[in-house]
Chains A and B, each alone.
Chain A
Amino acid sequence: MQQQKQGNPAVVGLGGFGLTTMVLQFHNVGWMGIGPVIWLGLIFGGLAQMIAGFQEKSTGNNFGYCAFTAYGSFWISLALLLIGNQFNIYVSSKTDIGWFLVAWTLFTAILWIGAMRIHGAMATTFTLLLIGFILLDLAHFGYPQLTVVAGYELMLTALAAWYMMAHVIFADVFGRNILPVGNPWIKV
């Protein structure tokens, strides 16, 4: 009996991760307001990425399971945090948001090590993400001008995530590997 073809949840997870990361940077460099970041953060970066994360469970991919579920939670939390500020519900100051970002930086550092064992594209994405988080941490603790540097750097992170998404989708639709992802940075 022929087994039904399964989709790869990573295409949704990477799509949502990349797109919301991208729009936040459009805000960070000053091109647009925060509104679209909140709503996209709740739905694509949040809900969709989190569902993709849960779907990773049945594929046996613990890295994707953890990463997509966690970064989906990141976006939902960030959006709710900003909505909370609007409605005076547990208001989060710039310093509070700074510490929120520090915690995510530490979490990302763990996944970064794992990413280096997966393939070059994943290692590149997580290296850029980690650097972006560190820049945002510094921007929230005394170096606000780094917000713009973080903005452009994290746009590259978003593009790297979309590259991996495109790698999976193109391999499927073209029937061959179009976009190489490179060797793991850590070889055992």
Chain B
Amino acid sequence: MHSIRKLTRAALIALTLTVTTLLTHSAAVADESAATPDEVVTKVWGAAKVLQTKGASAIPSLNNADGPWVWKDSYVFAFDCRLDRMVAHPMRPDLVGRPIMQVTDNNGKYIFKELCAAATAKNGGWVEYQWTKPGAGQTSRKLSYAVTADLAFSTGIQVAAGVYDETLSLEQLNKMTAEMADPGNYSH
């Protein structure tokens, strides 16, 4: 009797483990194609650093759809708030060189006015709007992180990238970014 109970318990543990593994795996598979917020921050900081290091010569790489600034379902894009101009967009070359401040999403939100305001903050900031995911036919909720990149002989240009997500809040994302920018201030 005792051994049957033992066997049942072992079987239950095994089943639980299997189900947990399967669920974790499926979640991982589902996430594999979606960029994460921390990836976005890392990519945006990386692009800003390359612009600081290499100046205007780094801009063509930001326009390359097969380049290092396009990954999973996301990409880095660059714009100049002072000159009201898209500087680089690997997915929408038609927008490059064109004015940005009048661009609105389906809800009438002036996307770049908000991105420009967010980019002036010390560690940049996140903005929520509707945008078409690469390859998708319709718009979805996009949360983009923007910073200002410093480069020689320039007042600086703005660099951003985003995640497509229905649940994340701007507060969560700004908190995560502050933590990534200054890990010393946060203990775990």
Contact = CB atoms under 8 A, between A and B. Distances in A.
B83 A93 contact: no
A127 interface: no
Interface residues of B, number: 17
Contacts of A94: 52-53, 55, 150-152
Given A30-B80, A94-B150, A144 B155 contact: yes
How many chain A residues sit at the interface, stated as a range, is: 20 to 34
B59 to A, nearest CB: 9
B154 interface: yes
Interface string B152-181: 111110000000000000000000000000
B185 interface: no
Given A30-B82, A30-B83, A147 B154 contact: yes
Contacts of A85: 54-55, 57-58
Contacts of B58: 85
B11 interface: no
Contacts of A91: 53-54
B52 A27 contact: no
Contacts of B156: 144
Contact of A82 (B55, B80, B82): B55
B83 A82 contact: no
Interface of A: 24, 27-28, 30, 33-34, 82, 85-86, 88, 91-95, 97-98, 136, 139-140, 144-145, 147-148
23 contacts: A27-B153, A30-B83, A30-B155, A34-B55, A34-B56, A34-B153, A85-B55, A86-B57, A88-B54, A92-B55, A93-B52, A94-B52, A94-B53, A95-B52, A97-B55, A97-B153, A98-B152, A140-B152, A144-B155, A144-B156, A147-B154, A147-B155, A148-B82
Given A82-B57, A147-B153, 11 more contacts: A27-B153, A30-B83, A33-B56, A85-B58, A86-B54, A88-B54, A91-B54, A93-B54, A94-B53, A94-B151, A144-B150
- Report the 8 A-B pairs with minimum CB-CB distance, sorted nearest first: A86-B57, A97-B152, A85-B57, A94-B152, A93-B53, A30-B83, A144-B156, A85-B54
